[in-house]
Amino acid sequence: MPRTQLSDVAQGLPSADETIAESADDRGPKTADSVTRSRLSRRLNLAWAEHLLLLTLVAAFAVKGLVPAWRHLNSDFPNYYLVARLYRAGYPLERVYDWTWLQRQKDHQGIDQGLVSFIPSTLPSALVVAPFTSLPPLQAKHRWLVVNLALLPLIALLLARMTKLGWERVALLMLLAFIPLRNNFLFGQMHLVVLFLLTLAAWLFFRDRGLLSGFSLAMAAALKIFPALFLIYFAWKRQWRAVIGLAVGLIAVALISVYLFGMDACLLYVHQVLPAGLRGETLDPYNPAWNSWTALLRRLFIAEPELNPSPVAHLPRLYALLQPLIHSFIFVAFMWAIGSGKRHEEAAKLEWASFVFLLLFLSSQPGSYHFVALILTAVLTVDYLLAHKRTVDAGAAVAIYALIGAPMIRFPWAVPTGWQNLFFFPRLAWMTALGVLLLLILIPRSQESLQARFNSKSVLLAAVVLIVLTVSGFVSTQRHLTGQFENYSARIATTPGGLLASNPAVSAAGIVFTTMTPTGYAMRRQQNGVAVDMTEMGGDWLHPTVAEQADSAWAEQSTRDGSRVVRLELDSAGHAGRVAIDAEDAQEPVVSQDGQFLAFLRPVNGRNSLWVRKIATTGGTRELGEAREIAAKDYNVHEATFLPDDRIIFSSKKSGRFALYVTAQSGDMEELRKPTCSARYPAISPDGRWIAFSCEQGGSSQIHVTDLDGNHDLQLTSTDCNSISPMWANDSKHLVYATDCGRGLGLTALAQLTVFR
């Protein structure tokens, strides 16, 4: 062992005089010397064990984390890379949270990845990898991995400077978060950058540089929102310089985001993505992989036909009570234990560590890589405990922390139904154990301190805050959930575990729609309660459309060569037969009721123009007319539908909000006076009397129906979720639409409703 390490070990031992004094009454000097040597031996053995464990973890991380991360794109890095590349190319980014739109851009960019999504990421998070977007995706990830590797020693250095553990023990604690670190590299995530900024903020804070500490946390919040909640901690501790630094930093991030990405994209994030993220409703909210209280309570007490068909019971009111009650109790307990008064530096570090843990513990959808931030908690906590010679508590903290960072325990005999869901949340159980341990450490041990902490004023304040948070959370959650489950009985084309079904097209032969598969997007047809795949050809298949005849369908095929509109001839089983390309460089097709005209969109740097062409069949021969532009890219057309007389109604975002326009094929165009809301997804009834559309109001979209003059508006949905893409049945009395009610944001299922009886 190096001499410096021996001296460090020796410094941690009691002196020989102290040992002799302690045992002078019943043991001689030789016995005292042997005790000293025994202790030194144990210390040396512990040091060698730590060395061996550290080397083992480094080797395991290289083999299981770094090497496969270097070889493959995996899931998350392509999301950041794609959005950064679109930003550098000048695309407007208000549609990056649209699942199918982003998938199309992925195809066109030639990124070898099955599925992409930017939900729930912040817009600034894409800028971190923007310098690498001139490279191919895998080479760009290589650069990103090098950046992450460079951050590891910087984080270790900051942690070593803040503690007395030494760099080896810091490194060991960092690598004990094995799965979080491995997955951060494997998926190309941002959380190591967030950990660096959190650690830098802590280092600055404990050097009385609260303003800079707040700025560092604001930069972390630009990537992942949760560091912004340090505003609560700083205000509670009356650290006003840190409050000012964080608040000013957050305002600066918001202003820069508006400048870089535009107001529309930022408002979309604030109104839809952020609230859904706080509620745990971005990706599949029932997935046990999240291992959060929110996900567990959803698995137990909220049913969903595809994602969670077998809970203990469908009890939304109980969920609405327990979810805020548990979170409020945890929050109040930790803030009460932390206290509002100033404490010495070692205790302040423990409080900082506990607040970082609290933010992770309360997170609604934490991925395994989120727990990289727990490294800061572990290092500061273990340093505090060892400094106070509480080795048993330190050992317990390390053991629980290592279990949180280890692979999740699996129970082969259990299935995630009913109460057996409890077996699928082991990380939540270990986090709960660590939370209990931190609370016991935070609460003072002396009788005087306990009496002061449990005085009537503090207990009453905690109780009042708990009641207020729980009641307000219950009311808010109950209001949000009201009506979301009424569409369950009207669901169609349900598939166990199905994450997305959208863009329905209705014909006499059944409903054709887009569905998400593990490797991309495909077309299915639902008939007599059975959904069958329509094509196995390459690429993603989006936005199907059908005419009155049952033997034809059109869809967009999206590949690395661009998008094209393809005509499919269907057999009686619903499978695609002969294929004809009816338009190149075209997407989101819609066909007239008689099948004589085809309208489609052509994008130019993310803004769509509207085109139409004749596709008549004469004497058994198909005739394709010349494609003509009807609406230029300035209209930024999103969706279109044909009137019975072959005029077209389309949605446009020409003047900052969505409006509906009607145009003849000659190009004569006018904006409809009504609806006055921000309207999308127009659909004309087969009898030509009614138009259905989706109206964006208050952060959600609802289905409306009105006559063509706009005199009889009828709102058909009113829940705090999105109902979009209405399509009429042939009888002009029923609608099929896509809804994400009871699901994740934008992860729609198909449902049917009756408009007229």
Closest alpha carbon to 189 in 219, 224, 215, 162: 224
Burial of 52 (0-12, 13-18, 19+ CB in 10 A): exposed
Whether 503 and 544 have beta carbons less than 8 Å apart is answered as yes
pLDDT of residue 23: 40
What averages of pLDDT result for each successive group of 10 residues across the chain (757 residues)? 37 38 46 68 74 91 94 92 94 92 94 92 95 95 96 96 92 95 95 97 95 97 96 94 96 96 93 94 94 96 95 96 97 91 84 96 94 97 94 94 92 91 96 96 70 73 93 96 94 88 86 91 80 76 84 89 89 68 93 90 90 78 83 92 92 85 86 89 92 90 89 90 94 93 95 90
| CA 130 centroid distance within chain | 20
**Residue by residue, what is the 3-state secondary structure of 456-492?**
HHHHHHHHHHHHHHHHHHHHHHHHHHCCCCHHHHHEE
pLDDT at residue 10, as a whole number = 36
Q: What is the largest CA-CA distance in the chain?
A: 117
N residues, the chain: 757
- Whether the Cβ atoms of residue 432 and residue 425 lie closer than 8 Å to each other: no
The tokens describing 1, both together, are: 């062992």
The pair of structure tokens assigned to 509 is 């032969």
**What does DSSP assign to residue 417?**
S
- CB count within 10 Å of CB 670 equals 9
Contacts of 493 (CB under 8 A, 6+ apart): 501, 511, 513, 515, 524, 526, 531, 750
pLDDT of residue 17: 40
Say if CB 191 and CB 144 are below 8 A apart. Answer: no
Are 587 and 561 spatial neighbours (Cβ–Cβ below 8 Å)? no
Asked if residue 398 lies in contact with residue 382, where contact means CB atoms within 8 angstroms, the answer is yes
Query: For 64, which DSSP code?
Result: I
Structure tokens at 707: 């006559």
Q: How many CB atoms lie within 10 A of CB 575?
A: 15
Instruction: Tell me the two tokens of residue 363.
Output: 């997170």
List, in order, residues 6 or more apart from 738 with CB less than 8 Å away: 501, 502, 503, 504, 723, 724, 725, 748, 749, 750, 751
The strand pairing partners of 696, in sequence order, are 678, 701
Whole-number Å distance between alpha carbons of 550 and 542: 19
Coil, strand or helix: which one is 711? coil
- Give the C-alpha separation, 598 to 588, whole Å: 10
Q: Which two tokens stand for residue 50?
A: 């730590």
Strand, helix or coil for residue 500:
coil
Domain ranges of the chain: 72-480, 492-584
Task: Measure the CA–CA gap between 329 and 331, rounded to whole angstroms.
Answer: 5
Token pair listed for 635: 């209209």
User: Which of 70, 181, 195, 193 is closest to 125 using CA atoms?
Assistant: 193
From first CA to last CA, the distance across the chain in angstroms is 87
Amino acid identity of residue 572, one-letter, is S
**From the CA atom positions of the chain, what is the Rg in Å?**
30
Residue 49: its pLDDT value, please? 82
Rounded to whole angstroms, how far apart are CA atoms 282 and 743? 8
Helix extents (H) in 13-91: 16-23, 29-61, 67-71, 77-88
Identify which of 385, 334, 388, 387 has the alpha carbon closest to the alpha carbon of residue 361: 334
* Cα 704 to Cα 679: distance, rounded to the nearest angstrom: 9
Count other C-beta atoms under 10 Å from residue 651's C-beta.
22
| Structure letter (DSSP) for residue 308 | B
Q: Would you say 76 and 115 are in contact if contact means Cβ atoms under 8 Å apart? A: no
Token pair, residue 584, equals: 């190149």
Taking the C-alpha atoms of residue 48 and residue 318, their distance in angstroms, rounded to an integer, is 52
Write down the residue that tokens 């008689």 correspond to: 594
- In the chain, helix, strand, coil percent, each to 5? 50, 20, 30
Closest CA to 517 of 529, 500, 534: 500
- Tell me, what's the pLDDT at 99? 95
Nearest-angstrom CA–CA distance, 608 and 637: 5
HSE at residue 293, side-chain half, CA atoms within 13 A, is 22
- Per-residue tokens: 2: 């190096």
The phi and psi torsions of 210 (rounded to 5 degrees) equal -60, -35
Coil/strand/helix, residue 569: strand
CB 683 within 8 A of CB 691: yes
- Give the pair of three-digit tokens for residue 361: 């513990």
Q: Is 386 left (phi over 0), alpha (psi -120 to 50) or beta?
A: alpha
382 within 8 A of 397, measured Cβ to Cβ: yes
CB 58 within 8 A of CB 175: yes
How far apart are the C-alpha atoms of 122 and 224, rounded to whole Å? 7
Q: Are 111 and 81 in contact (CB under 8 A)?
A: yes
Q: Report the C-alpha gap between 314 and 322 in whole angstroms.
A: 14
